[in-house]
Amino acid sequence: MRKFILELSQNAKALLPDVIKIYLPSCLFLLLVWSIGKVYSIDSYELTADPAELAGLAPYAGLISNVGILLWCGAAAICLFSASLAKLDPICFRKWFAFLLASGCLTTVLLLDDMFQFHESYPALFFGLDADLPHNNRRLQNLLEAIFFVVYFASFIFYTFYFRKHIQRTEYLFLLMAFFLFSLSTVVDMGSETMKGHYIIEEGLKLLGIISWLTYFYRTCRSAVQQLARNLVVPVDKAHIN
């Protein structure tokens, strides 16, 4: 028992800086959420409860959307983790780090927008939190969302142009498929909601786009990590010489 306590103490002392880096920002985030609730008189239950529970909906409410969010999260995690690994080798760092880091950040932005629906709620910044304009005026809603999607489109163009040499070395068909499916989903979203199968087509196309996005970055990151592993492996003959 003494040995276990001693090892635990040493382990805790060694990990103390990492513990602070992990839990201090997390606690500050919780404090920030609590403070926002106090300032704007928002009940803490509303800020912490599951949306389906809060709205009194069935557990399967938003099933396709929630699956898409999980896939976004997987793609972002793969890119950011692979970018951190690329720093271990100078060759991989020059070839992959900036691309994977930018891809992870872009994916995180798309994840947060899909999760919190920024493209639909941002008009409140201009018209006030109590404004219900998008729900009362479909044409205005489409216009405001179009402005947001134009920014996304411009970001995609800049991203693909800036990293075109990186993308050319990858299986970019999946990335093109993702862009194409996202575009189709946006067109359907801005169309009439009375169209038969409007919601399943819109969300289905978006989900297929996310799957294509995840597939592309999974295969790209796997290639980067394999190259990293080859660069870091010490040949057997050299190991015996040393």
Give the chain's domain count: 2
Asked if residue 203 and residue 108 are part of one domain, the reply reads: yes
In a domain, residue 53? The reply is no
Asked if residue 44 and residue 147 are part of one domain, the reply reads: no
Asked if residue 212 and residue 114 are part of one domain, the reply reads: yes
pTM (predicted TM-score): 0.82
Model pLDDT for residues 179-200, shown as the tens digit of each residue: 999 999 988 877 777 778 888 9
Asked if residue 112 and residue 5 are part of one domain, the reply reads: no
Asked if residue 79 and residue 14 are part of one domain, the reply reads: no
Asked if residue 161 and residue 92 are part of one domain, the reply reads: yes
Q: What is the domain range of residue 5?
A: 1-48
- Select from 149, 145, 152, 153 the least CA-distant residue to 122: 145
Q: What is the mean pLDDT of the chain?
A: 85
Asked if residue 98 and residue 183 are part of one domain, the reply reads: yes
24 vs 201: CA distance, rounded Å? 43
Helix 98-116 vs helix 63-86: crossing angle, to nearest 10:
160
Rg over alpha carbons for the chain, rounded to the nearest Å, is 23
Asked if residue 156 and residue 40 are part of one domain, the reply reads: no
Measure Cα distances from 54 to 94, 111, 152, 225 in Å: 47, 21, 31, 42
Q: Where is the domain boundary, 48, 68, 87?
A: 48
Model pLDDT for residues 34-91, shown as the tens digit of each residue: 998 888 788 888 888 888 888 888 988 889 999 999 999 999 999 999 999 999 999 8
In a domain, residue 242? The reply is no
In a domain, residue 241? The reply is no
First-to-final CA distance of the chain: 41
Asked if residue 124 and residue 9 are part of one domain, the reply reads: no
Asked if residue 71 and residue 30 are part of one domain, the reply reads: no
Asked if residue 74 and residue 164 are part of one domain, the reply reads: yes
In a domain, residue 54? The reply is no
Asked if residue 11 and residue 71 are part of one domain, the reply reads: no
